Amino acid sequence: MDAATVGSAFAALLGTSVYYLAFLMFRHAALRMPPLRGSRPFRAAGYMLTDWIWMLGGVMLFVGLAYEVIAFAELPLSVAQPIFALSLVFLLAYATSFLGERLSRREWASVALFGAATVLVGLSSGRDPARLPSASTPPVFELALVTIPPIMVAGLVWLVGDRTSGGRHARPLAGVAYGIGAGVCAGVAEAGVRGIAAVWIADGTVEAVIRSPYPYLTLLMAGISLLQVQIALQRCRISIVATIITVIGRTMLVVTSTVLFDDTWPDRPVPLALRLTGFSLAILAIVLFPRHEHPHSAIPYAPRRRKGPAATARRAA
């Protein structure tokens, strides 16, 4: 492994570490916020945008993501994917050691399947670095094809999560649904970052980037994903949410890049079998994940509620 590859690997590890550090900051910001609801997205966005810890985490998230795209363009996926998975292991270790979260055997088995899926997808790409896409603008129908379905999925998760999270005996969602809703949007946002990088390298001007659809695609889908993430981090364990987002986001990035950038899949039998097996293991892991929290799951806190006239009147009554 030459010096350039080692440097790119270090940059990828740094980028993914910053990416997951942003998740921890979002988790901390959730402590400072009243309960967020998907049926009130503008109110939830207002709480997020006026919290300096959350804003700092958002900046770190985009910095980490940009580092990933640039570094991974110089690395083969067989090297890059394990680096991304290694950073997720660090986050899981922190969540279990310092946040009091616990995973069941079934959940650890799903995480292991995700790790195997990541390695197989990386091996399926061989040793060639992932090329940046063409800087050309995709047709409108392709942009609609990769944006409308994820938005619908996120909206459905919001509504279902709001409806089932209440009630004395209701069992809260374990984070799988929220992770899927946020992950599909995050994958499209990452594809937008790839497009921004391609336009910048091809033209080298901010004007060219602004004229392209990629900044707006990234901001739209990242905004929806971040709103979904913040709601999830108030109700679910970060270890579950981050794992699902990682796998779904990576999978959606591959699918979106195939549509927008004409990325090709392996054409040889062995690499193709590795990729299909990897995707199959990821789907199996999602199926195995419990849909609801166990009654004794260690969710570290419940988000506080702001005091107001209505709450005061109820206590007085």
Say what the pLDDT of residue 306 is.
43
Low-confidence ranges of the chain (pLDDT < 70): 1-5, 69-81, 126-135, 161-174, 292-317
Say what the pLDDT of residue 146 is.
92
**Are 245 and 178 within 8 A, CB to CB?**
no
Say what the pLDDT of residue 285 is.
87
pLDDT digits (tens, 9 = 90+) for 102-145: 888 888 888 888 888 877 877 777 665 556 666 678 888 999 99
Say what the pLDDT of residue 83 is.
75
Cα atoms in the Cβ-side hemisphere of radius 13 Å centred on 254: 19
Say what the pLDDT of residue 308 is.
45
Say what the pLDDT of residue 52 is.
92
